[in-house]
Amino acid sequence: MNPLPTVVISASPYTSLFPGLVTTLSSTVTPNAAATYTWLRNGVAVAGATGATLNVDIDGLGDYQLRVTDVNNCTNSSNIITIKDSVSGKCFIYPNPTSGKFQVRYYSVANNVLPRTLTIYDAKGDRVFTQYYTIGRPYDRMDVDMRAYGKGLYWVEIGDLNGNRITMCRVVIQ
């Protein structure tokens, strides 16, 4: 009888992410080499994730585990690592500078589904764009297309439904 593989996963360099950060989940399998790797996020197989490592960004928050079948056809699962959000009051825009199509992300507590107002002002301070988004996860994407507005510096204001400003950041369209 062959021993079950021992599978250990770790995350480096981060377990808490905000937009722009990427962490790598790595695995160690003993005593025999792994034949297949199945990465699980919140108990569901991650599509296309069949290697010894897995890169995770802000859209991949959750609980990760690795199921391995070794060369003797013995299967076992690893410890669980939680990749969570890192609270930041910063507004993230990328790409920036942009050709006019970009995404805005701002921290929101998980499962606190709430509307956000995105208002964009030109360099003179005139309002040129307003859109409403429903946010349900930390750093949910708010996609913006301002290719029709011309080049320049714009101010992006994120607000709540009552019209209160939460934060402002800027974007350069070139």
Domain ranges of the chain: 6-85, 91-173
Q: Could you tell me which CATH number the domain at 6-85 has?
A: 2.60.40.10
* Residue-wise pLDDT tens digits, 11-43: 999 999 999 999 999 999 999 889 999 999 999
SS3 52: coil
The answer to whether the CB of 133 falls within 8 A of the CB of 141 is no
The DSSP bridge partners found for residue 69 are 36, 75
Q: Which residues contact 96 (CB under 8 A, 6 or more apart)?
A: 102, 171, 172
Interval 149-174 mean pLDDT: 92
**pLDDT band, residue 142 (cuts 50/70/90):** very high
Q: How far apart are alpha carbons 168 and 174 in whole angstroms? A: 20
pLDDT given for residue 172 in this prediction: 97
Q: C-alpha angle with apex 89: 86 to 91, nearest 5 degrees? A: 100
Same fold? 6-85, 91-173: yes
CA distances from residue 88 to 35, 64, 73, 143, 170 in whole angstroms, order as listed:
40, 23, 45, 20, 17
Interval 93-118 mean pLDDT: 89
pLDDT given for residue 79 in this prediction: 97
Encode burial over 149-164: b for 16+ CB neighbours within 10 A, e otherwise.
eeeeebbbbbbeeeee
Work out the percent of the chain whose per-residue pLDDT is above 70. 98
Task: Please name the fold of domain 91-173.
Answer: Immunoglobulin-like (2.60.40)
